[in-house]
Amino acid sequence: AMLYGMAGPISALYCSGPSAALLAPACTKYVSIRALALPAVVITTISQAVCIGTKDTKTPMISVALAGMLNLLGDFLLVKWLGQGIAGAAWATSLSQILSAGLLLRVLKKRGFLQQAKDENSNTMATVKQLLKFIPFLFVMAVKIGWHNSCSATAASLGGVRAAAHTAVISVTMICMVLGDVGSSLSQAFLPPFASKDKKSGNTSFDIDAAMPTIKQLLKCTLSISTTVMCLATLMIGVFGGQITCDPQVLVEMRRTLPWIVATLCFHGSAVTLEGVLLSSQKFRGLTVNYSILAVIVAAFQLATRRFNLGLTGVWGCYLCFCSSRVVTFLALGGLLRPRRWMKGRVTAEVQPVVKAKPPL
């Protein structure tokens, strides 16, 4: 409701310069339509988390694929055939998100997750305390949203060519980042069994040594995904960039920004996988402090980019700093910077004594 009501002021942040009078109404309409689907986005996110928590990775993948196909079909129908323009694109995305949420709710209902609780006399304060535990997670999500939005707003203020180039490259990058986010989902699906709660104190402990083989496998999977998306971004922007735009100036700006994009994608997958490790071990305080510092750094990057005219280098320098710093910080918070922890399995195998068979009596 807040986003719908503030669609105009929010659009003004992204529409500046001589073309603002033409862009602002269309941007406001787009934001207003997308705001209508936000409840469906929240439902989809929670439903996917429930599925992943039950070791079901197929249903979230099907819902994402369905939303993508419906969005593409809606774009062709509403934008190309019916000529609805940006409003048609907004409706296509919103309707695809609503239908995806409906699919997930249908699956959860069949599995009995949406049944009313039998205990109707549940303690209200206990429920409130459980909800308050989500505040750090919501804060982390707010900082991430602010990071993307502030970078887009800064890029929009850099002029038509740079704004167009950023719009093109961020579209490609977001596809790659969605693929990289798989690491976080896998971490939160396979690492919670290593966490245990003390019934007396209520504190949660995480057996990091027992979880190390799983963490290593998750990071290997993340490395392969990161390599894939780096190659994908290089091909789409560096080789097939001419298919995205026919403006030579925009194309030059896109290819000039490509090294920053590839470097960002190199760190992004590892960052979200390690973030999943911290979420599984419930180290919310460290995450909150880290993202508080990152919020200040992002704001400083935006101010410096505008004041010193750093262009898209400043914008994507912010992306690179945000992702790379999280890798180092999350390794430290998770206790993963100790070399012995990574070499423990190998050392144990090397020093394990060979038991000789006893000769028969």
Q: What is the pLDDT of residues 310-338, one digit of tens each?
A: 999 999 999 999 999 999 999 999 999 88
Structure tokens at 206: 């995480």
Residues counted in the chain: 361
Whether residue 15 contacts residue 24, with contact meaning beta carbons closer than 8 Å, is answered with yes
Give the integer Cα–Cα distance in Å for 27 and 152. Answer: 13
* pLDDT at res. 294: 97
Q: Which residues pair with 18 in a beta bridge?
A: none
DSSP-derived pairing of the beta strands 204-206 and 195-197:
antiparallel
Give the integer Cα–Cα distance in Å for 187 and 52. Answer: 10
Q: What is the chain's pLDDT, residue by residue, as a tens digit (361 residues)?
A: 566 666 667 666 666 555 566 667 777 887 888 888 888 888 888 888 788 777 777 888 788 778 888 888 888 888 778 888 878 888 988 999 899 999 999 999 988 888 766 655 556 777 677 767 778 888 888 899 889 989 988 988 888 899 889 988 988 898 889 888 888 888 888 898 898 877 666 677 889 999 999 999 999 999 999 999 999 999 999 999 888 888 899 999 999 999 999 999 999 999 999 999 999 888 889 999 999 999 999 999 999 999 999 999 999 999 999 999 999 999 999 999 888 888 865 544 444 444 444 444 4
**Helix (H) or strand (E) segment spanning residue 197:** strand 195-197
* pLDDT at res. 348: 45
CA nearest neighbour of 159 among 35, 46, 290, 17: 17
Structure tokens at 322: 């945000």
Give the integer Cα–Cα distance in Å for 128 and 59. Answer: 30
Give the integer Cα–Cα distance in Å for 132 and 23. Answer: 40
* pLDDT at res. 123: 65
- Work out the widest C-alpha separation in the chain, in whole angstroms: 97
* pLDDT at res. 10: 64
